[in-house]
Amino acid sequence: MYLAPMASKGFNEFIYKYIKKSKKDRTQTNVYRQINDQDYIYVSYFNVKDKTGEKFTLEHFNGNQLEYKIKADKIVFNEADSTYTLYKYLKRIINSNEDILESKAKKDTTFSFDLEDLTPVEYIAETLNYTELNSFIEREKKRGSSNINRYEVVRYKRWSLPISAYILTIIAVAVSSMKRRGGMGVNLAIGIGIGMIFIFFDKIFGTMAEQSDFSPIVATWFPNLVFAILAVYLLRNAKR
């Protein structure tokens, strides 16, 4: 719940740096985000390393009414003072009589979002403790994130994985206590095989939930349910 996320962050950073070198750890193209109840932003491309974005757009609503729209060919984040610089800045204020246009070649300003809001890393949910994760998921739902199912799978696994370990332990005890021709080697092979099948089921259902509308809670708990039934059967059979 609270210690594992610290290890997960280092593990994922290592994986993306040395194993998945060709894969980006965050979305960089066609970034569309709802920042809060009123503001929506779009960036056609965001360079995380240089902290620059191309074709930036911000739309501000009051209810269902668009109040103003900001566009810029380029946006740059300034770390020194946490401000943004917009190049070829254009702001259109929507007026009932006549729209008001404001344009500048360059404009420094501030926004209510930071880089992690704009392009969070793919594994961000795995690096948050349970309390932070719940808050993060609620924010992402309001922003219309397309990765909600992925985050939900991570949240439910915080509870399902300890149960999985318990179930697999019962299966291991049941299998090891059975007497078969061939000795412990056969039992060991059966135990490893069951463990591999469980991991396969867990990955398949997790991927289904992350990449489709399949329920995250069903994806995380269904393998546990199936193997809990198997554990009970093996344990009862081992007593005979």
- Output Rg (C-alpha) for the chain, integer angstroms: 25
Mean pLDDT taken over the chain: 83
Report residue 22's pLDDT band, with 50, 70 and 90 as the boundaries.
low
In the chain, % of residues over pLDDT 90: 34
- In this structure, are 152 and 215 located in the same domain? yes
Q: Which pLDDT score, from 0 to 100, does residue 118 have?
A: 67
What percent of the chain is modeled with pLDDT above 70?
82
| pTM for this prediction | 0.68
Quote the longest CA-to-CA distance of the chain: 90
In a domain? residue 128: no
> What pLDDT does residue 23 have?
58
Kind and range of the H or E element at 150?
helix 148-177
Domain that holds residue 93: 28-119
Count of structural domains within the chain: 2
Do 114 and 156 sit in the same domain of this protein?
no
- Residue 169 and residue 233 in one domain: yes
pLDDT of the residue at 197? 93
Same-domain status, 187 and 111: no
